[in-house]
């Protein structure tokens, strides 16, 4: 009975295909559920003004990055720059939330002012949170003033890309 044989062969092939499709669906679903890891790219700049009483103010732009990291990120990303031998900016980026498609970035900007660029005298700070969808970039920009002595400020601009 060649027709019957062909029929059962087709049935066997069909069930094999169903099993294969099922495996693909299950594999894809589990891969998506566990694949939280993203590449992120961090870059930006600080425009720093070091206010001077007896001479003209000192200004300059300090860039940082691009730096690639994978999230979830266990450590903090740091970027730094100093102008006029007195005013130092520091950027700190963390990623407190990561989903399969989105990341939440917390960007902190700190202003240190003292007698040298290695000063640890924190005189001002600001923070912005930003949600970034997969394969897109977001830029946060904010100004941090020297709240303690006045005059100095830093314009932070930080761009983060979620994905390649």
Measured from the Cβ of residue 85, the count of other Cβ atoms closer than 10 Å reads 13
Size of the site for Ca ion (CB under 5 A): 8
Decide: 101 and 133 in contact? Cβ < 8 Å. yes
Does position 84 interact with Ca ion (CB under 5 A)? The reply is: yes
Smaller CB distance to Ca ion: residue 34 or 116? Answer: 116
Report in angstroms how near the CB of residue 82 gets to Ca ion at its nearest: 10
Does position 123 interact with Ca ion (CB under 5 A)? The reply is: yes
Q: What is the C-alpha radius of gyration for the chain, rounded to an integer number of angstroms?
A: 27
Q: Say which DSSP state 88 is in.
A: E
Q: Say which DSSP state 117 is in.
A: T
C-alpha–C-alpha distance, residues 80 and 75, integer Å: 16
Smaller CB distance to Ca ion: residue 48 or 113? Answer: 113
Which residues 43-72 are close enough to bind Ca ion by CB under 5 A?
Answer: 50, 52, 58
Contacting residues toward Ca ion, per CB under 5 A: 50, 52, 58, 84, 86, 113, 121, 123
């Amino acid at each position: 009975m060649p027709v019957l044989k062909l029929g059962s062969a087709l049935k066997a092939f069909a069930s094999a295909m169903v099993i294969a499709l099922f495996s693909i669906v299950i594999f894809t679903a589990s891969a998506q559920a566990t694949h939280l890891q993203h590449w992120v790219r961090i870059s930006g700049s600080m425009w720093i003004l070091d206010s001077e009483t007896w001479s003209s103010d000192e200004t300059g732009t300090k860039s940082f990055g691009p730096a690639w990291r994978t999230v979830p990120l266990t450590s903090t990303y740091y970027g730094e720059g100093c102008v006029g031998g007195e005013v130092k900016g520091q950027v700190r980026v963390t990623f407190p939330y990561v989903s399969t498609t989105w990341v939440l970035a917390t960007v902190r900007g700190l202003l240190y002012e003292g007698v040298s660029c290695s000063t640890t005298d924190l005189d001002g700070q600001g923070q912005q949170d930003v949600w970034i969808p997969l394969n897109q970039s977001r830029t946060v920009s904010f100004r941090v003033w020297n709240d303690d002595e006045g005059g100095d400020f830093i314009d932070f601009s930080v761009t983060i890309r979620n994905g390649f």
